[in-house]
Amino acid sequence: MKPKDLASASLLLLFGVALGIWLDRAWLPAPAKDTSPVAPSGKTGKLPALARPPASRPDSTTSPVSPDPAGPPLNASEFAFAFTAALSERNPDTRFMQLIELAERVLPAEVARVLPLLDQVTRRDHRSGLLGVLIGKWASADPAAALTYAQQLTRGPERLSATVTALGVWAAADNSAALAWAQAQPPGTQRNQAFQAVLGQLAEKDPGAALAELKKAGLTSLTSGLHEAIFQHWAETDPTAAAAKALTELPPGRQRDSVLQLITATWAASDPVAAAAWVRQQPDGKGKRELIQSLSDTLAATDPKAAVELALTLPEGGNRHEALAQIAARWASVDLDAALDWVKQLPAGQARNNALINLSHEWAEANPRAVAEYAASLPGGPTQDTLYSAVANQWATSDPASALKWAQALPGADTRLQAMETALTVWAGTAPEEAAVVVANLPADNAKPALLQNFAARWAEDDPDAALRWTQQLPAAAQPAAYEGLVPQLANNSPAAAAALLGKLPVDSREQVAEHILQVWRESDAAAARAWLVGAPLPEEIRQRLLKP
């Protein structure tokens, strides 16, 4: 995705994330596993010593962990007091979760009074997520008022997402009224998104009617995901009819292929044998190959042997390799030992390499030492690098300093760099100040610029101010690489501050970052963004291109 697309996509995603938190706050621990696979015979390799083995994933028979029950409902004054206290939390993730919990507790009638407080939330993505929860609460009691407010928001992505949220809540309560509102909108993005919200709700009750309304809507463009939502609900009750309707109503192409994959995946949940039989009956071609690949992935979680059998009907090549790799990942999540035994008996080649890469995370969680030893037996390349990185990731969760030291001793420059980046990324998320000292004092070799860039970017996701202070005190020669990671992250919440730092980036990195800054800044202050661009430290031809509307 290009930087200029990131802002809008991130905001739409945060609305979904925040609303998902609102609907379901429970989670499950990972299942326990333990395995000790043996490296292939005849392979040798020097493995840097592990100072101590990373901890294998412990057995757990505990019940699912749940957050504390939500507190009592809040009026506007109570929310404001608690909101101010929550803003003082230094950890950004904890702060966001506290604010989301408060938003969930606001009385719907009080939402209009608390919305102005969101201006105090400096992180744009967090503000957008909170707005989504509050608009949803308001719309549950007064959809017309919530919708009116949403349409008056000045930031484009927030306005669109808030409108869709309010309309979706309205549609769940009174679909006919919400549908009439959507039909009355002028052609354009808002009308398309309105139909997505309304017909998505209608599809849950009557997918056939939703499809008929979609055909009558005359949308200016295909609304992303709407056909998929309709046919998924249809497949839950009558997959045979849903598949037949998709074949007759949708023209051949990417969208029909996507819909059919969704139908067969839904079908497989209730009758995998029938779903597989239907897929096998389809005419040969690209669509069928992708259907087999998709369905084998779905089957792997419940019947991996049937999934393998289906995948092997694909011709030798990329589709088969990808299908087998997907099966490996799914299988490993439910039975790692069996998945490893199967992968190791595959013929040497791309299929086995892809499968090893796809199960590396599960394997490293269960037995990182075994992964490290197996990786040492492999020839250098992407498969070995991925396995080593999986070890670094798992080890760094418990002892990042030792994980980094181990990664520094690995053979091969690319292998070392990838494992070191992985360890530092984990460390930056748990103890960034400690990691920052270590990164700054790493040897000044060819790998250090990349390590500085990636570390600064990761730290800036959580605390851009602290990452900036650290970057500013680095030696002058090290600063450009760190700024290259920091500035794009800083732009997400403070485009003006990011713009002031663009000149500190390497010249060949500035164009892409400048585009991202402009995309974000134009949403809140297009005039200021344009004024900055006129004198921005960019080559003239790039500046002129970006100045065009």
Q: Are residues 452 and 501 in the same domain?
A: yes
At 33, the amino acid letter reads K
| Shared domain check, 275 and 257 | no
pLDDT exceeds 60 at position 512:
yes
Q: Is the domain of 184 the same as that of 110? A: yes
Same-domain pairing of 347 and 441: no
16 pLDDT more than 50? no
What is the per-residue pLDDT for 194?
86
Mean pLDDT of 26-32: 33
Note down the domain range covering 306: 271-366
Do 301 and 242 lie in one domain? The reply is no
The C-alpha atoms of residue 271 and residue 405 are separated, in whole angstroms, by: 50
Beta strands in 329-419 (DSSP E): none
Q: Are residues 303 and 234 in the same domain?
A: no
237 and 169 in a common domain: no
The pLDDT > 90 percentage for the chain reads 72
399: in domain = no
pLDDT at res. 301: 87
Whether the pLDDT of residue 58 is over 70: the answer is no
* pLDDT band with cut points at 50, 70 and 90 for residue 221: low
Mean pLDDT score across all residues of the chain:
86
* DSSP string of 470-515, one letter each residue: HHHTS-TTTHHHHHHHHHHHHHTT-HHHHHHTGGGS-GGGHHHHHH
Q: Are residues 244 and 277 in the same domain?
A: no
Domain boundary pick from 309, 335, 366: 366
Domain contains 258: yes
pLDDT band at residue 224, thresholds of 50, 70 and 90?
A: low
The residue from 346, 366, 386 where one domain ends is 366
User: Is residue 516 a contact partner of residue 4, using CB atoms and an 8 Å limit?
Assistant: yes
pLDDT value, residue 472: 97
Using pLDDT thresholds of 50, 70 and 90, give the confidence band for residue 161. Answer: confident
Mean of pLDDT values over 297-316: 92
User: Could you tell me if 315 and 237 lie in one domain?
Assistant: no
Q: What is the mean pLDDT of residues 165-172?
A: 92
The pLDDT of residue 232 is above 70: yes
Which of 175-184, 185-194, 363-372 is predicted with the least confidence, judged by mean pLDDT?
185-194
- Quick check: is 492 in a domain? yes
254 & 282 share domain: no
Structural domain contains residue 34: no
Q: Would you state the pLDDT for residue 185?
A: 87
pLDDT of the residue at 187: 84
Q: For position 67, what pLDDT does the model report?
A: 43
For 206, the 3-state DSSP assignment is coil
Contacts of the segment 168-174: beta carbons below 8 A, 24+ positions apart: 168/197, 168/198, 168/200, 168/201, 169/136, 169/139, 169/140, 169/143, 170/139, 170/143, 170/144, 171/197, 171/198, 171/200, 171/201, 171/202, 172/201, 173/140, 173/143, 174/143
**Distance between CA 263 and CA 277 in Å, rounded?**
14
What local confidence, expressed as pLDDT, does residue 223 receive? 55
pLDDT 10s digits, 318-348: 999 999 999 999 999 999 999 999 999 999 8
User: What pLDDT was estimated at residue 4?
Assistant: 41
Residues 19, 108: one domain?
Answer: yes
Lowest mean pLDDT among 18-32, 177-191, 307-321, 500-514: 18-32
Per-residue model confidence (pLDDT) at position 193: 82
Residue 31: CB atoms within 10 A of its CB come to 14
* Whole-number pLDDT of residue 70: 67
Q: Is 487 within a domain?
A: yes
Bigger pLDDT: 250 vs 46 = 250
6 domain-assigned = yes
Q: Express each pLDDT in 533-548 by its tens digit.
A: 999 999 999 999 998 8
Whether residue 3 lies inside any domain: the answer is yes
Flag whether 510 is in a domain.
yes
Band (pLDDT 50/70/90 cuts) for residue 488 is very high
Give how many domains the chain has, as a whole number.
4
Residue 412: pLDDT over 70: yes
SS (H, E, C) 114-139: HHHHHHHCCCHHHHHHHHHHHHHHHH
Same domain, 141 and 11: yes
How far apart, in whole angstroms, are the C-alpha atoms of residue 233 and residue 239?
9
Across the range 432-461, mean pLDDT stands at 95
Task: Give the pLDDT score at 226.
Answer: 82
Q: Give yes or no for a contact between 15 and 169, defined as CB atoms under 8 angstroms apart.
A: no
pTM of the model: 0.62
Which of 311, 342, 366 corresponds to the end of one domain?
Answer: 366
pLDDT recorded at residue 64: 36
The pLDDT of residue 126: 92
The confidence band for 5, taking pLDDT boundaries of 50, 70 and 90, is very low
Which of residues 164 and 11 earns the better pLDDT score? Answer: 164
Residue 476 has pLDDT above 80, yes or no: yes
| Structure tokens, 306 | 């049937």
pLDDT band at 13 (very low <50, low <70, confident <90, very high): very low
pLDDT digits (tens, 9 = 90+) for 241-271: 999 999 999 999 888 999 999 999 999 999 9
